[in-house]
Amino acid sequence: MIPNDSLDTHSAQVDDQRPDKPEEACGVFGVYAPGEDVAKLAYFGLYALQHRGQESAGIATFEGDKVHLHKGMGLVSQVFNETVLNSLMGHIAVGHTRYSTTGSSRVVNAQPAVVSTRLGSLALAHNGNLVNTGELREELIKREFDFLTTTDSEMIALAIASEINNGKDWLEGALSAFTQCQGAYSLVIGTPKGLMGVRDPNGIRPLVIGILPTSPQRYVLASETCGLDIMGAEYLRDVEPGELVWITEEGMSSFHWSPKPARKLCVFEMIYFARPDSVMCGESLYSYRLEIGRILARESFIDADIVIGVPDSGIPAAIGFSQQSKIPFAEGLIKNRYVGRTFIQPTQSMRESGIRMKLNPLKDVLEGKRVIIVDDSIVRGTTSRKIVKALRDAGAKEVHMRISSPPVTHPCFYGIDTDSQEQLIAATKSIEEIRQQIEVDSLAYLSWEGMLTATGEDPNTFCSACFTGNYPIDIPEKVKRSKLILEKSVTV
């Protein structure tokens, strides 16, 4: 038996290696393009969406009634090669790159989820998280379904299969199943007859439609516009909240199936998750992140010698802060872009000497300087403290931290893997207490109003529950208790 203190030490070491960020959602992709190499189109689409999930990847293609499927653990480039892609024949492809939110990180849980129905197989790729998985699972068990995975995505696929097996066609079956699903879901669903793109009534996770430069016109679905750009597809529009688009040889048709759609796009998609070259709300996210940096500078200016950003996600806001404050922007931290997840733990002596696998400071840039460092968020504070120490060790005279989002005080239940509430540093500590813990000279966050004003859209059309605790979709008490364990929030 391992002593408890050994278990605690191991747990702390594993936790020490976790990214101190909310973990990305998943990336979904679909293409309807008879006559084109749909598997390779899906591969490159997923390659562009790799930032949304690095645990597993998969592609399913439809060749008439036959489904070809390949999925595995690892990055898109590790799971697929030319031989595999050449075996994925057909005119429809559905792809997925995964970070696990519901269901552990195992190959059986990799997507797309493929299930059989009386009309043939369907392949489903899901970005988001249901909040009624318990009830839905019980209902499907009553209907005598067996589960191959532990994911809510398979439950959605089985709910559709159940409706189809009871006599409905593809569209009727899908629309009926969605009324049984509560939570966040952007879906790409392949069938022998056509391709579907679906968003939940609140549109919490993004999904866009593109047109390939072919004749006749062919369609692409992707989580972000960067998934269209890589293959030269033209952005057409977003799939709307509570909408199903149905793409067949006849073209694309639209069905608004929700009686009360109300957009609540995750604002963290704009701050951090989506790639800066993707377009949301009519502008690139690089432009949005520049603007929140400018607002942050207006709200919390402090005199300094240089502004630096935490690569890569903090860089645009840092540039915006520099533009507004007139303090020069500099690169003070260099990122090793070839570091993925590693299960090789550094030795204790490495840890004590400050092993820097991902970020390394530039001493000649930082030495003797008053430094403002901009990052997009602080979740637990562990990484922030290490970065601040590295800057001071490199000779920074002062370190002032600015965060281009409000304090994260509540966990997400809609497809982002955040810690339970007690592990979110801003849920249990004031800004001054956080400043002391991460050992900076000053600390300031972007205001909630500034974050939403910068979108140029109605603030009520965004989900910002991780900052406010105002969840747009009711969360069952049992699910709430798994993460919301604090009885009262701390005023910050």
- The residue with tokens 């500078």 is 297
Supply 199's token pair. 């968003």
Report helix, strand or coil for 360: strand
26: annotated active-site residue: yes
Task: Round to whole Å and give the CA distance between 4 and 211.
Answer: 57
Task: Round to whole Å and give the CA distance between 314 and 401.
Answer: 11
Respond yes or no on whether the N-terminal peptide bond of residue 216 is cis (omega within 30° of 0). yes
Task: Round to whole Å and give the CA distance between 376 and 293.
Answer: 10
Residue 315 φ/ψ, nearest 5 degrees? -65, -50
Query: Out of 26, 181, 226, 281, which one is annotated catalytic?
Result: 26
> 10-49 burial, b if ≥16 CB within 10 A, otherwise e?
eeeeeeeeeebbbbbbbbbbbbbbeebbbbbbbbebbbbb
313 annotated among ligand-binding-site residues:
yes
- Report which residue type is found at 397: K
Rounded to whole angstroms, the maximal C-alpha distance in the chain is 74
442 annotated among ligand-binding-site residues:
no
CB atoms within 10 A of CB 427: 22
- The residue with tokens 């199903």 is 244
376 annotated among ligand-binding-site residues:
yes
Are 125 and 79 in contact by the 8 Å Cβ rule? The answer is no
Task: Round to whole Å and give the CA distance between 251 and 218.
Answer: 8
Task: Round to whole Å and give the CA distance between 268 and 257.
Answer: 26
466 annotated among ligand-binding-site residues:
yes
266 annotated among ligand-binding-site residues:
yes
Are 199 and 245 in contact by the 8 Å Cβ rule? The answer is no
Task: Round to whole Å and give the CA distance between 91 and 60.
Answer: 11
Enumerate the known binding-site residues for Mg(2+).
313, 375-376
Enumerate the known binding-site residues for [4Fe-4S] cluster.
266, 412, 463, 466
Enumerate the known binding-site residues.
266, 313, 375-376, 412, 463, 466
Annotated catalytic residues are 26
